[in-house]
Chain A
Amino acid sequence: MSLLDQEMPEVVMTPDNIRSKKFPLVQNILVAVVAFVVAAVVVLSTGIGNWVLVVVLGGVLYLAGLNFVAGRVEGKRAARNRMWQTAIYTACLLAVLPLASVVWTLISKGAERLDGDFFGSSMANIGARDANGGAYHAIIGTLEQVGIATLIAVPLGVLGAIYLTEYGRGKFATTIRFFVDVMTGIPSIVAGLFVLSFWVLVVSKWFNDGNPQYSGFAASLALTVLMLPTIVRSTEEMLRLVPGPLREGAYALGVPQWKTILNVVLPTAAPGIVTGVMLAIARAAGETAPVLLVAGGLSRINFDPFSGGQSSLALYVYQQAADASKYAPARAWTAALTLVALVLILTIAAKLLARRNKLTR
């Protein structure tokens, strides 16, 4: 008897018999039915909970029962495998459930105001009794603010990450990396307050005859503060994944370091960098607090991000959801749907762009 046989006496397979019995599906279903019936009886008869507890308890009982019953039939190892497999599939399902629910809720509730008026008009002169009114001004605001923030944050972030991976050595680089990590944890309201006290209350006066003023650009600055650390860290990780021999291969051809980074390292890491940038953009597009603090929110259309308040989709959702008008919730849902769709479209476009130019694999 080998050591394995002694340690795992329940293993029915031997060198002479490498087949094992399979646990039939009927019995599997039977275990499930029994588990949930038992759970229902226990929970409902004692009155300690409702159907939610039945499902949870039933699930736990099913996994335990599966491990036990299947263990009798096909051996302990196979049963454990079956149990974990079931647990993992369940976890996967549970993780996708909220997402599906969110998408479904957005679509079903957002469809009501999905009309031309919503995308073509603002909230200017819309009273509590008006059923129309739209988010055109908020869409403009989101696009401009996130656009400007991206234009500032992407070059800064990518160049910063290049410094950290390709050039930065010693204390200075370590310090920068530490502060980037600290920046990752900055709450958006703090970024908003920072821009409020620095830009809106101080710098914006210089351009506006001594009066402080809200602007979409101030919101962009706050979003930049939020996007930068995400972009730096994700880009840094992606650049680190580019194998050293690729760089050496280029150096060995007499290619200078900056050209190597530009033509070999960055293209190799491009898809990952784009994913990181899109995550940052998605986060920035969903921010409400900084926009409220430094752009103020405006109900009419303001194309100029550098002067006067602006709204944004996230802020619009917040305001409409809190509005007393009975027509406001529908507008909030449609704006939320628009925001999600916008981020989705941008993400898909960016992925396609990153793959264009790439060789067919």
Chain B
Amino acid sequence: MAKRIEASNVSSYYGSFKAIDNVSMTVEPKTITALIGPSGCGKSTFLRSINRMHEVLPNARIEGRLTIDDQNIYDPDVDITAVRRMIGMVFQRPNPFPTMSIYENAVAGLKLNGVKKKSLLDDAAEKSLRSANLWDEVKDRLDRPGAGLSGGQQQRLCIARTIAVEPQVVLMDEPCSALDPISTLAIEDLMFKLKDRFTIIIVTHNMQQAARVSDKTGFFSIDKTGEPGRLIEYDDTQKIFSNPSQKKTEDYITGRFG
């Protein structure tokens, strides 16, 4: 079910400001791809362009071509909600819906998209919570508010919510930056598990994390503030972290950036 993503010459804008310039990369199905780079280099913007979340902000637009299994998701007749259902997203800060219980949060995507049958929802809730390694911790209090869980649990609840709608691609925008090492480990384990079913792209500031979890790594950078971000190097993670072909990548990875 997982799909191949192909970006060719993608540039994103906020109004007249160009945030990323001419990014091209191909992400193979059932792999984990890490995007690394300094703050403000456009990696999150690129990630948000993949599920058309970029354009939620006023005046934001993109140029270039982004295809999922050869369907251009920026074609004018594309239904945005269909794209987003196919490409799920986990955000930096856990954002469970505060008025919903754990159970309702887990099946929110299904319920709001029209699934009504209780037995189907029950199954989906258990399945997705199990997939997110959260079931054992919450099975006795499914009717409690989702916002009452710990940060790590909330983030796994958001992952459960995302995979409950069975997307083909899961985008993660620094999913562990607000979490402690134990919760981070839990989520990394989870990513390995999900790799069998989904294509995963993760933005991270943690280079050890990129090296640990990803198959391929893309390094983004900017020359200086106000300039658009560029994809400097995109290769196997092994290669990026042992023998990068670009000087900039090597500087960043070894901590000699700037």
How far is A200 from B204 in the complex, measured between Cα atoms in Å?
67
| Known A263-B112, A359-B144, A359-B145: A252·B98 in contact at CB below 8 Å | no
Neighbouring B residues of A21 by C-beta, 8 Å: none
Which single member of B82, B91, B93, B101 contacts A254 (CB below 8 Å)?
A: B82
The 6 A-B pairs with the shortest beta carbon distances in the complex, nearest first, are: A254-B85, A253-B109, A252-B89, A267-B99, A359-B145, A254-B84
| Distance between A358 CB and nearest chain B CB, rounded to angstroms | 7
**A345-361 Cβ-contact flags toward B at 8 Å (1 or 0):** 00000000000001111
Neighbouring B residues of A247 by C-beta, 8 Å: 56
* Size range of the chain A interface in the assembly: 20 to 34
Taking A254-B82, A254-B165, A263-B112 as known contacts, 14 extra A-B pairs with beta carbons closer than 8 A to each other, sorted by chain A number, are: A245-B93, A248-B56, A252-B89, A252-B162, A253-B84, A253-B109, A253-B112, A253-B113, A264-B97, A267-B99, A268-B97, A268-B98, A359-B99, A359-B101
**B7-39 Cβ-contact flags toward A at 8 Å (1 or 0):** 000000000000000000000000000000000
| Distance between B173 CB and nearest chain A CB, rounded to angstroms | 10
How far is A255 from B111 in the complex, measured between Cα atoms in Å?
10
Which of A169, A254, A270, A358 has the largest number of chain B CB atoms within 10 A? A254
Chain A contacts to B: CB under 8 angstroms: 169, 243, 245-256, 259-260, 263-264, 267-268, 270, 358-361
How far is A255 from B83 in the complex, measured between Cα atoms in Å?
11
Is B158 interfacial (CB-CB < 8 Å)? yes
Which single member of B58, B95, B112 contacts A255 (CB below 8 Å)?
A: B112
Which of A253, A263, A267 has the largest number of chain B CB atoms within 10 A? A253
| Known A254-B85, A255-B113: A249·B56 in contact at CB below 8 Å | no
Neighbouring A residues of B143 by C-beta, 8 Å: 359
| CB atoms of A246 and B95 under 8 A apart | yes
| CB atoms of A251 and B53 under 8 A apart | yes
How far is A263 from B100 in the complex, measured between Cα atoms in Å?
10
| CB atoms of A254 and B53 under 8 A apart | no
Neighbouring A residues of B51 by C-beta, 8 Å: 252
Which B residues, 80 to 123, have Cβ-Cβ distances below 8 Å to chain A? 81-86, 88-89, 91, 93, 95-101, 108-109, 112-113
Which B residues, 112 to 144, have Cβ-Cβ distances below 8 Å to chain A? 112-113, 143-144
